[in-house]
């Protein structure tokens, strides 16, 4: 007991000791007669107080600090972590508490993002206030294209897919922002695509009739075309001047024209952003060539839209084009709806019967399909409502031959060549085809149908998971259905990817007698030739002799 009391006293005085530095305190009663026990104690303490010659610290102060920390914080089983505590205490000695640099408010990325995102909330609050005061109840009746994301998120959560609720709210507000700033008729949360650096949140929109900002796009495209034409002209001029370089008679196959806005794979417009609250960026329309190459390659997205896509075969465009192509492919493959939710417009039906219908309207009489039937493994009650993309990269087939005939300059050359056979039109399944027609992927059923709950089945919803595009899901319940994609944007393949082989070596010249190497003459031929030469020489000599003789005669 006595010892501990002394120790306590010493602990209290340790503060003083540390202030005074490592100089040992000489107790006043040094010269008094001490019993040997006390003398030992003082010796031990003065040893502990000896400062290290390297760091200037002493064990006594250090221990007292560590013990103070332990007693203040009272961690459980403190003996187990004593080494760490001691080490931490030593580390803390080196960090100064008063640092002018650290006092500056640290503008972390967290704060920066929060500042961006807070706009979403404050805008929403302001607009809701504004609506309430100025326009009153009338305005509320106006149909807004904004979907009820939280309701959909709730259903997806039942299914165990999608995104977390908090993120859904942010996306919802971001979509609201998009609706407020663009004349949109229809908006959907398409999904999320992961990238290696950042992720993409994708919104699928349809502009209101006639209000699309088409002009800008067209101008931009025309500009591009002109530029390319100019380039071509320049090249031709140069060639004409030099006059020597042979002109290659290779003509690239005609470029398959992209589909017009509002049709086929460009039916919808897509906006992406990296984080909800960051600006929405419109993706360019997709071209068949991009879809074609996207099918042959497999690359991760980086998260930067302007990043180049380095791959083989070379991709025409940057990452925004690649993203757009993958979105088209995923939409065409995985956007499904319950049978009967959409129907073909009866008026238009007759007109367009010839070439496959591409429009449909919502069936107002749709009653909903019982969940039991929706999860039936035959999948007859689900239909695709996005057009199938043909191998050509378009949803409607475009004949590459007819275009050749339009080119007047090349007409003569065309005639000289053999007429290429009329290609077989590519045909895909028509719109609103049931999923039961989907092809199997390497012995895999293309879709997995499930109930959201096994425990309370009467209230469960039907959920579809795509096996072809892992990450694509759909749910249906009563009259509601929705599709979402959360994934890396790649198609499933059981086998590993192998890039397509490079094309065969191009033929340089048509092989003919003038460029083929002659065969070496056989010895017989050589002998014959030699004999013939000798004969000719002899004859010539004879002639000369004769002439000589003639001369001599003269």
- Contact residues for other proteins, defined by CB under 8 A: 75, 80-81, 84-85, 88, 108-114, 156-167, 192, 194-199, 298-300, 311, 442-445, 448, 452-456, 465, 467, 470-471, 486-488, 492-497, 499
Strand 382-384 and strand 447-451: the pairing is unpaired
* CB atoms closer than 10 angstroms to residue 50: 12
Whose Cβ is closer to other proteins: residue 194's or residue 366's? 194
Residue 167 CB, nearest distance to other proteins (Å)?
6
Residue 322 CB, nearest distance to other proteins (Å)?
12
d(CA 448, CA 469): 12
Q: What are phi and psi of 64, to 5 degrees?
A: -65, -35
Task: List CB contacts of 245: < 8 A, sequence separation 6 or more.
Answer: 239
Angle of CA points 439, 440, 442, to nearest 5°: 135
Task: List CB contacts of 459: < 8 A, sequence separation 6 or more.
Answer: 453
Preceding omega of 313 cis (within 30 degrees of 0): yes
d(CA 81, CA 85): 6
Whose Cβ is closer to other proteins: residue 157's or residue 414's? 157
For residue 76, how far is the Cα from the chain centroid?
Answer: 48
Whose Cβ is closer to other proteins: residue 432's or residue 472's? 472
Q: Give the bridge partners for 486, in sequence order.
A: 192
Q: Based on C-alpha coordinates, what's the Rg of the chain?
A: 42
Whose Cβ is closer to other proteins: residue 195's or residue 285's? 195
With residue 140 as reference, give the H or E element that holds it. helix 138-141
* Encoded tokens for 201: 């949140």
Beta carbons of 414 and 405 less than 8 angstroms apart: yes
Residue 14 CB, nearest distance to other proteins (Å)?
23
Residue 413 CB, nearest distance to other proteins (Å)?
40
Whose Cβ is closer to other proteins: residue 308's or residue 499's? 499
Whose Cβ is closer to other proteins: residue 7's or residue 81's? 81
> 3-state DSSP call for residue 335?
coil
d(CA 195, CA 201): 11
Beta carbons of 203 and 189 less than 8 angstroms apart: yes
Residue 452 CB, nearest distance to other proteins (Å)?
7
Residue 273 CB, nearest distance to other proteins (Å)?
14
* CB atoms closer than 10 angstroms to residue 417: 9
d(CA 174, CA 202): 11
Residue 433 CB, nearest distance to other proteins (Å)?
22
Residue 375 CB, nearest distance to other proteins (Å)?
12
Residue 471 CB, nearest distance to other proteins (Å)?
7
Whose Cβ is closer to other proteins: residue 26's or residue 443's? 443
> 3-state DSSP call for residue 449?
strand
d(CA 22, CA 60): 10
Whose Cβ is closer to other proteins: residue 33's or residue 109's? 109
Whose Cβ is closer to other proteins: residue 4's or residue 454's? 454
Residue 379 CB, nearest distance to other proteins (Å)?
14
> 3-state DSSP call for residue 253?
coil
Whose Cβ is closer to other proteins: residue 124's or residue 486's? 486
Whose Cβ is closer to other proteins: residue 88's or residue 413's? 88
* Encoded tokens for 98: 């008063």
DSSP state letters, 32-63: S---HHHHHHHHHHHHHTPBPTTT--BHHHHH
Residue 437 CB, nearest distance to other proteins (Å)?
19
| Cα–Cα nearest to 188, from 172, 200, 166 | 172
């Amino acid at each position: 007991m006595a010892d501990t009391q002394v120790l306590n006293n010493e602990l209290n005085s340790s503060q003083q000791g540390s202030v005074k530095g490592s100089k040992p305190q000489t107790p006043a009663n040094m010269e008094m007669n001490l019993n040997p026990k006390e003398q030992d104690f003082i010796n031990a303490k003065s040893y502990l107080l000896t400062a290290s010659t390297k760091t200037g610290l002493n064990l006594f102060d250090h221990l007292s600090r560590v013990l103070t920390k332990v007693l203040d914080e009272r961690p459980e089983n403190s003996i187990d972590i004593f080494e760490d505590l001691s080490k931490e205490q030593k580390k803390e000695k080196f960090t100064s508490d008063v640092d002018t640099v650290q006092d500056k408010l640290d503008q972390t990325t967290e704060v920066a993002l929060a500042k961006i995102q807070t706009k979403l909330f404050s805008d929403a609050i302001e607009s809701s206030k504004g609506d309430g005061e100025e326009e009153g109840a009338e305005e509320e009746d106006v149909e807004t294209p904004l979907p009820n994301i939280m309701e959909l998120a709730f259903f997806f959560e039942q299914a165990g897919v999608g995104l977390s609720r908090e993120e859904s709210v942010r996306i919802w507000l971001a979509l609201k922002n998009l609706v407020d700033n663009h004349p949109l008729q229809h908006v959907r949360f398409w999904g999320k695509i992961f990238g290696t650096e950042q992720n993409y949140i994708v919104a699928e929109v349809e502009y209101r009739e006639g209000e699309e900002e088409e002009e800008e796009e067209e101008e931009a495209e025309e500009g591009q075309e002109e530029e390319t034409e100019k380039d071509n002209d320049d090249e031709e001029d140069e060639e004409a001047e030099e006059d020597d370089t042979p002109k290659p008679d290779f003509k690239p196959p005609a470029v398959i024209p992209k589909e017009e806005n509002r049709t086929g794979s460009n039916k919808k417009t897509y906006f992406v952003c990296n984080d909800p609250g960051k600006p929405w960026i419109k993706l360019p329309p997709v071209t068949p060539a991009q879809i074609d190459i996207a099918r042959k390659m497999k690359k991760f997205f980086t998260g930067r839209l302007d990043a180049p896509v380095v791959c083989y075969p070379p991709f025409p465009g940057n990452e925004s084009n690649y993203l757009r192509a993958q979105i088209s492919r995923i939409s065409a493959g995985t956007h499904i709806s319950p049978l009967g939710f959409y129907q073909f417009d009866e008026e238009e039906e007759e007109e367009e019967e010839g070439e496959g219908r591409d429009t449909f309207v919502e069936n107002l009489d749709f009653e909903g399909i019982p969940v039991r039937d929706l999860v039936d493994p035959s999948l007859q009650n689900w239909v695709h409502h996005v057009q199938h993309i043909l191998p050509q990269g378009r949803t409607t087939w475009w004949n590459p031959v007819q275009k050749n005939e339009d080119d007047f300059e090349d007409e003569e050359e065309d005639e000289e060549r053999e007429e290429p056979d009329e290609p077989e039109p590519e045909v895909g399944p028509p719109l609103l085809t049931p999923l039961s027609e989907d092809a199997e992927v390497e012995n895999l059923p293309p879709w997995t149908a499930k109930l959201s709950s096994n425990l309370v089945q009467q209230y469960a919803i039907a959920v579809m998971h795509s096996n072809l595009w892992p990450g694509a899901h759909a749910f249906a319940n009563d009259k509601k259905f929705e599709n979402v994609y959360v994934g890396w944007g790649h198609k499933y393949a059981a086998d590993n990817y192998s890039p397509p082989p490079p094309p065969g070596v191009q033929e340089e010249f048509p092989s003919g007698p003038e460029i083929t190497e002659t065969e070496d003459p056989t010895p017989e031929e050589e002998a014959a030739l030699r004999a013939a030469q000798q004969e000719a020489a002899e004859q010539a000599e004879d002639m000369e002799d004769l002439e000589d003789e003639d001369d001599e005669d003269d």
